[in-house]
Structure formats: C-alpha cells, structure tokens
Amino acid sequence: MKRMRIALIAHDVKKDDLVAFVARHGEFLCDCDLVATRTTGGRLNKAFEFSVAKVSSGPLGGDLQIAAQLADGMISAVFFLRDPLTPMAHEVDIMALLRLCDVYNIPCATNLASAELVISGLEAGRVRRGRSAGPQHLHVRLRSNAGEIREHDVSGKDAACVLDVLDQGM
C-alpha cells in the first residue's frame, strides 16, 4: 500500500500548536511520509522519533518547493497553520501553495479546527484501506455516463483495487 505524503508547515506563533497536533495524531502520521519547511521540520524532528523530510524555510522558498511536489502529485494533504495577524514577506509564496491545493483538489487545513477535521477523514480512510488488505468480496454496481447499470462481483486483489480507487476519490 502506497504511503501518504503529508506536508506540515507552521508559522512561528503556531509551531507549538503543530507539534501538539502531530503528537495527538502520531500513530497515524508515523505511517506517512512527512515533509515540512525547514524550521517547522526541525521542531518536529526534535520532538518525535519519526523523521520529517525538510525543504527550505518558508521565507526562502520552502512553501514553493512543497507546492512543486504537490503539482507533481506527491502530496496527499497540507497542514499549514498560518499566523493570520502578521504580514509575511513571502505571502505570495503562501498564496501559490494554497492556490495549487485548490487546483489539484488537495485537502489543505490552515487552522487547527480544520486540521482536526481533515486528519480525522484521513485516519478514517486508513481504517478502510486496512480492511482492504484482508480477503474481500464486493458486489459492485457501475453506472456508465449513458446511465447503463452493470453489476459485477469482484474478490481478492480486484476488490482491494476497487477499495483503493474509492479511497483515492475521498
């Protein structure tokens, strides 16, 4: 099963919140590939045993490096705890990252409340994927664009593939 790659970024006043968030969801996140901007990643690497890959610091292009990974299809979700009260020199970079999340329909949480909702969706998806590893038998009903309905029985690996596709469409 492919590991999810998740981007973690926090502005300075939000870094403690992000560390606490990662601690709350460590069991899920330690099964993901994590990438962070430099200072955020440094904080996380100090706090946790699992390792977080680092790009440059946000003000030095790190948000854009994460945006580039996202445009290459490598990022499944972005948790970006922003400081809404301080003007940032790299505001345009931040906007570029958020815009690409919208372009590619990638879940992106910019505050803790939405971060909790997004991660609970991802965690629920993992439970569904976990189930797909076992023996499965599915009855699938497909409707073509023309409205024609076809029913199929699928089992074993094919059933796991169907569940993976459903997860990706989450």
Catalytic residues: 63
**63 is a site residue for ligand PGA (CB under 6 A):** yes
Shortest distance, position 111 Cβ to ligand PGA, whole Å: 15
Q: Which residues pair with 54 in a beta bridge?
A: 36
**57 is a site residue for ligand PGA (CB under 6 A):** yes
Q: Which is nearer to ligand PGA, 85 or 142 (CB)?
A: 85
List the one residue from 40, 65, 76, 132 that touches ligand PGA (CB under 6 A).
40
Q: Which helix (H) or strand (E) holds 74?
A: none
Judged by CB under 6 A, how many residues of this single chain contact ligand PGA? 11
Shortest distance, position 112 Cβ to ligand PGA, whole Å: 16
Q: Which stretch binds ligand PGA (CB under 6 A): 57-65, 130-138, 145-153, 159-167?
A: 57-65
- Tell me the C-alpha distance between 79 and 83, whole Å: 13
Q: Which is nearer to ligand PGA, 84 or 156 (CB)?
A: 84
Q: Which is nearer to ligand PGA, 91 or 153 (CB)?
A: 91
List the one residue from 4, 7, 11, 75 that touches ligand PGA (CB under 6 A).
11
Q: How far apart are the first and last CA of the chain?
A: 16
Of the candidates 102, 83, 100, the residue with the CA atom closest to the CA atom of residue 91 = 83
- In terms of phi and psi (left: phi > 0; alpha: psi -120 to 50; beta: otherwise), the region of 160 is alpha
Shortest distance, position 87 Cβ to ligand PGA, whole Å: 12
Burial environment of residue 62 by CB neighbours within 10 A (0 to 12, 13 to 18, 19 or more) = buried
Q: Which helix (H) or strand (E) holds 150?
A: strand 149-155
Shortest distance, position 23 Cβ to ligand PGA, whole Å: 17
User: Where would I find the H helices in 25-170?
Assistant: 26-29, 38-47, 62-71, 91-103, 112-132, 156-168
Q: Which residues contact ligand PGA by CB under 6 A?
A: 9, 11, 37-40, 57-59, 62-63
